[in-house]
Structure 1
Amino acid sequence: MAARIDHLVTSGTFSLDGGTWDVDNNVWIVGDDTEAIVIDAAHDAAAIRDALGGRTLRAIVSTHGHDDHVDAAPALADATGAPIWLHPADLMLWKRKHPEREPDAALSDGQVIEIGGTALTVLHTPGHSPGAVCLHAPALGTVFSGDTLFQGGPGATGRSFSDFPTIITSIRERLLTLAPETVVRTGHGDSTTIGDEAPHLEEWIARGH
């Protein structure tokens, strides 16, 4: 039996470059009836732990190091014993939020995470941040895109450590090459599909989205 995907939305703030904004984040839980991973432990460790429903948490996987995606990770790790995984290129962002606590393991491009009989492959997709990753689960027909790709375009690149040409390259080479029917489960907002977004790449480039 393939793993299932559970979803909850948590609310909090995102802070960078001297500004703070209210945000709603998607938290994705992938697993079966006994074990799971959490993708992006945002804002509310207690709510995420409740959503696990007593399952063993095998890992807390961070798509990137922005504070709204990792702020609840240490508390969730402490409550469950699960390790926190982050791409090392985002360690400087992590340390802004959690200077006293290191992630437990480094994510790397091509790494395969297995949970509930299902494999998720780590795709390094820099641009929104240097260490941004997506997680591709072909058996589930989905990719967890963090803040790299949204319904309607790329993630934001107007703040420190981000770069628009880099995110466009990541999307073109790592995401738009996936099957068109692949569901894109994003870090914020509604899901989309690769097929719905692919035709708009040149529009995004033209407007420097």
Structure 2
Amino acid sequence: MTKHPILMLCGLSMLAGCAEEPPPRSVSEFVENPIMLEAAMVRCSQDRAKTKYDPECVNARQAVARIQAKEEAEARAALEARSESKRAALRRTQAAAAEARRRAAEQQRQREEAEYLAQFGVLPPSAGTTTEPLDEGNLPIAVVPEEDATGSGADVYREPVEVQRLNPQPTLPADPVDDEPTAEPADEEAPAATDLESIRDELRRRSEDGGD
């Protein structure tokens, strides 16, 4: 009776020995399960010559290479993102500097324009304020000549009418009018010559009469 259990155990052990080995774990299984991959790499690294062509060790090595490639790609993407953010920050800094230079140039231009207009007594227009008519006493002394109606923009010379009014020329009294008629001088040369000839003729006749 005791031989039957022994025979049964021997048969079961022989069946277990003849059973097929479980298939090696795939690369995807190692990638999805880092603990299993680490255990396989520890076992495969103990005897590299023996486990060099072991299917499971080969799959574990491929899984390690795939994980490393993925990590390197992620590292490159993160580096590229940091570089892009740095470039964007640099562009913003350059744009802000350009805007500051533009505003400074605009302020300088407005200041120069105000100084130029101040020479003629004209106030520069200020932004955000409405221009109100000035009183007569607050009008500027010097007036900038306006452009011609034709819009040609040429300078037109105008007589200083106001200056002439302020500095009038003294008026002299008029000469008294003489109501008596003025005799025009007669031409005395011709009558004088005629009288001389008549006197000579008269003396000539008298001399002739006395001789006779």
TM class by shorter chain equals under 0.3
Query: Higher RCO, 1 or 2 (CA under 8 Å, sep at least 6)?
Result: 1
Question: Larger % of helix: which?
Answer: 2
Compare CA radii of gyration and give the structure with the larger one.
2
Question: Larger % of strand: which?
Answer: 1
